[in-house]
């Protein structure tokens, strides 16, 4: 078959890779033509490859699901259109945390309190370019680790974009090859992208996503941030530490709306001390300053999956509807992570990926955590889990609360800080722990103990009776439990 401008790719002898023609068809009508993203592609001798478990997306939910399914004896094919690791590893969580750490070290070296400790730093400076290079080295090391895990677990990795042809088949289109895959089970883990505001579309220069802000090659003199979530607060913390004038516009009455106001005031005071200007009850349409970073949540990456062809139900915002076993409306198709439209946290995505892999392998499990911790890497750091005081009261609990200041903790003072507090919310009737908030150094590490306590049904007495290492930051958890029991030692009653 010949036609002007038609390119023919002949069979390569590999049954798993279909043969196809690319190029303009010059008006010739031929059976078997597919039109994808405006490009006509004709499949010739299209070979369908049968796969056991097909996972779409190699972010935190996807690669974890693939590895877990392999551990349970499934033969897994993993499809990813970009680098492995997803947004969290490549452009989001890990890069931001790396830059926050280096900026924190710079800030600490400039503090006058170092002189009181006998440490003198005559000149301290930073190099944004080298910071970004170091950040990328951290990302590259983790990406290489994920690649080795995928290869070591004998997972077949296919580069390309996937969409459904019918409830049992998917097309995967890559730069160099095309695949038609017939699967027994499928896990969708395609993640999500920054959600724009209707009146302020992203342009990559004046209106930025959080990920684009981290890619800035030069620091601006001033930055404006719209949002009241943890990402907005962490971006404000990063850039103000490096001398950028930062104005934070929060659309609600307070930043981090679901956090107890009392400990949150310490975080807000810390941001203001660094130099962040905070404007609450802000209207995005009235913000004229540029550049503007918008942290407005995420939108599931599901539009190009042709989910209707597979009989998979989605919400109005495009999130894949799943049950507690991560099954969609098509029982052999699962979804995990941000593409389900739930809370966009990598910790949730990882757990959901494990659940999906275990369910399709025949295990009786569910995604049903009692609590999910949230950590915000500000100055001071904040971590919270479970119910706040207000949420517990709204739920009808008869509550007991305990509060212990970091200023009364020996380990905190040896670290040169006293700005912080630990608070605990408990059911007064039986002493069971309902929630906790920690503000201070390493709060994100300490909150794991409280997550375990709530999941295990621990009481205030359980926390009080444990022997903690001394001196240690974890003692503030014991002391806050003691205070809730009205038996605190290191604070006046």
**How far apart are the C-alpha atoms of 247 and 151, rounded to whole Å?**
45
Which token pair is 62?
């996807």
Q: What is residue 408's DSSP assignment?
A: G
Among 120, 179, 377, 470, the active-site one is 470
Strand partners for 245 = 222
The pair of structure tokens assigned to 98 is 């790396």
Alpha helices in 8-153 (DSSP H): 60-71, 86-90, 93-109, 113-116, 128-152
| Pairing relationship of beta strands 421-427 and 433-439 according to DSSP bridges | antiparallel
Phi-psi map region of 76: left, alpha, beta (phi>0 left; psi -120 to 50 alpha) = beta
Q: What is the DSSP string of 177-207?
A: -EEEEEEEEEEE---EEEPPBTTB---SSSE
In angstroms, the CA 405 to CA 5 distance is 75
Cα 325 to the chain's mean position, in Å?
A: 21
Which DSSP category does 432 fall into? B
| C-alpha distances in Å from residue 37, one per residue of 8, 41, 163, 304 | 20, 10, 12, 10
DSSP letter (8 states) at residue 342: S
Mapped onto helix, strand or coil, the DSSP state of residue 242 is coil
The reply to whether 470 belongs to the active site is yes
DSSP result, 129-142: HHHHHHHHHHHHHH
* Residues 6+ positions from 254 with CB-CB distance below 8 Å: 228, 261, 264, 268, 280
**From CA 228, how far away is CA 296, in angstroms rounded?**
8
**Spatial contact of 124 and 241, defined as CB atoms under 8 Å apart:** no
Segment 165-168 long-range contacts (CB within 8 Å, at least 24 positions apart):
165/306, 165/309, 166/309, 166/310, 167/309, 167/310, 167/311, 167/330, 167/332, 167/333, 168/332
Judge whether 65 and 357 are in contact, CB under 8 Å: yes
Q: What is the DSSP string of 281-340?
A: S--GGG---SSEEE---EEES-GGG-GGGGT--B-TTSPBP--TT-B-SSTTEEE-GGGG
Q: Could you give the residue numbers annotated as active site?
A: 470
């Amino acid at each position: 078959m010949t036609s002007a401008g038609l390119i023919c790719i002949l069979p390569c002898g590999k049954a798993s890779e279909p043969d196809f023609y690319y190029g303009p068809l010059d008006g010739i009508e031929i059976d078997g033509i597919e039109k994808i993203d405006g490009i006509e592609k004709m499949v010739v001798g299209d070979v369908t490859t049968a796969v056991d478990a097909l996972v779409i997306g190699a972010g935190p939910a996807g690669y974890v699901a693939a590895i877990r399914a392999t551990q349970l004896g499934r033969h897994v094919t993993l499809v990813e259109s970009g680098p492995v690791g997803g947004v969290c590893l490549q452009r989001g969580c890990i890069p931001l945390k790396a830059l926050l750490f280096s900026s924190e070290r710079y800030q600490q070296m400039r503090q006058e309190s170092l002189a009181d400790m006998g440490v003198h730093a005559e000149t301290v400076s930073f190099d944004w370019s080298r910071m970004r290079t170091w950040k990328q080295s951290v990302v590259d090391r983790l990406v290489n680790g994920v690649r080795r895990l995928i290869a070591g677990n004998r997972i077949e990795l296919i580069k390309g974009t996937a969409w459904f042809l019918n409830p049992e088949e998917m097309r995967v289109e890559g730069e160099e090859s095309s695949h038609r895959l017939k699967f027994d089970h499928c896990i969708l883990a395609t993640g999500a992208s920054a959600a724009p505001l209707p009146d302020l579309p992203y342009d990559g220069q004046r209106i930025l996503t959080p990920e684009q802000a981290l890619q800035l090659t030069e620091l601006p003199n001033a930055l404006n941030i719209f949002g009241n979530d943890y990402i907005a607060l962490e971006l404000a913390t990063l850039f103000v530490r490096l001398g950028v004038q930062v104005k934070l516009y929060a659309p609600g009455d307070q930043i981090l709306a679901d956090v107890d106001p009392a400990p949150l005031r310490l975080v807000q005071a810390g941001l203001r001390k660094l130099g962040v200007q905070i404007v609450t009850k802000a209207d995005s349409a009235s913000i004229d300053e540029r550049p503007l970073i918008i942290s407005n949540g995420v939108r599931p990456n599901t539009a190009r999956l042709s989910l209707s062809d597979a009989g998979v139900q989605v919400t109005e915002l495009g999130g894949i509807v799943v049950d507690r076993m991560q099954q969609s409306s098509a029982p052999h198709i699962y979804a995990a992570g941000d593409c389900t439209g739930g809370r966009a946290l990598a910790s949730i995505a990882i757990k959901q990926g494990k659940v999906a892999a275990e369910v399709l392998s025949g295990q009786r499990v569910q995604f049903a955590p009692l609590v999910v911790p949230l950590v915000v890497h500000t100055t001071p750091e904040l971590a919270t889990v479970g119910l706040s005081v207000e949420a517990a009261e709204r739920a009808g609990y008869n509550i007991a609360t305990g509060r212990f200041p970091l200023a009364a903790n020996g380990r905190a003072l040896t670290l040169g800080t006293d700005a912080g507090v630990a608070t605990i919310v408990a059911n007064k009737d039986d002493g069971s722990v309902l929630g906790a908030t920690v503000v201070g150094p390493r709060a994100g590490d300490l909150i794991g103990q409280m997550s375990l306590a709530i999941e295990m049904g621990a009481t205030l007495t359980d926390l009080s009776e444990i022997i903690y290492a001394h001196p240690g930051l974890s003692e503030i958890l014991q002391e806050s439990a003691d205070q809730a029991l009205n038996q605190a030692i290191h604070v006046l009653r």
